[in-house]
Structure 1
C-alpha cells in the first residue's frame, strides 16, 4: 500500500459526500413544494444552531443574508431558538449571525470595489 492511498480514498469520499449532499439535500429536499426557500432556510438555521452544527449554521446564515433575509429577522430567529433550545444556544446563534453579517458585508465591499490598475508613480 502506498502512502498516498489513504489521501486518494479520502478525496473520493469528499467528492462522493458532496455529490450526495447536492443530490439528496439540495436537488430533492430543497426543491420540494410546500415551504418557501425562506421558510426552509429559517428552519434549517434554527435546527443547525440548536444541534450545535455551527459551521453548517454559519453557511446557511450567510446564504440567508445573500438571499435577502434581513439580519433583524435572523436575530429574532436566534432569540426564538434560545427559548426552545437553550439560552446559551441562542447566544451562540447570535454570535454566528454577527460573524455572518460581517463576512457578507466584507464580500459586498470587495465586490463593489472597482478593479484598479496600478500605474507607476510619476
Structure 2
C-alpha cells in the first residue's frame, strides 16, 4: 500500500511541477480534500486548487528538488527545496499527504525560508529576552 500511495503523490506532483496543469493535479484529490497550513488555515479542494493556480504566474520557472519521500500506511511525507530562477529566494517545504481510496484526501504544508534556518534553530531565545 505504501508503494501505491507514494506513486499517487509522485504522479500528482510531477504533473503539476512539469506542466503546471492544475486540473491534472485536481484529478488526484478527493472531492472532500482539505489542505492545512500552520495557523489554523485550511482550504477546501476548490480553494486550494484556485490558490495553486493563482501562484503559477508569480512562481513561473520555480525549480523543485525533492530530497525525501517517505510513506507509512496512508501517509506520504515529501521534503523538498524550491527556488525561483535567477538566484531567487529558496524555501524548504515539508508536505504530508493522507491517501484514502486511491486519492489524496488531506494535505499539510510547512514552508521555511532557507535564509531563516539559522534563526529558526534558536527560536526560543527571543522569548527569553
**Higher-strand-fraction structure:** 2
- In the superposition, the TM-score normalised over structure 2's length comes to 0.28
* TM-score normalised by length of structure 1: 0.29
Larger relative contact order (CA 8 Å, sep ≥ 6): 2
**Bigger radius of gyration among the two:** 1
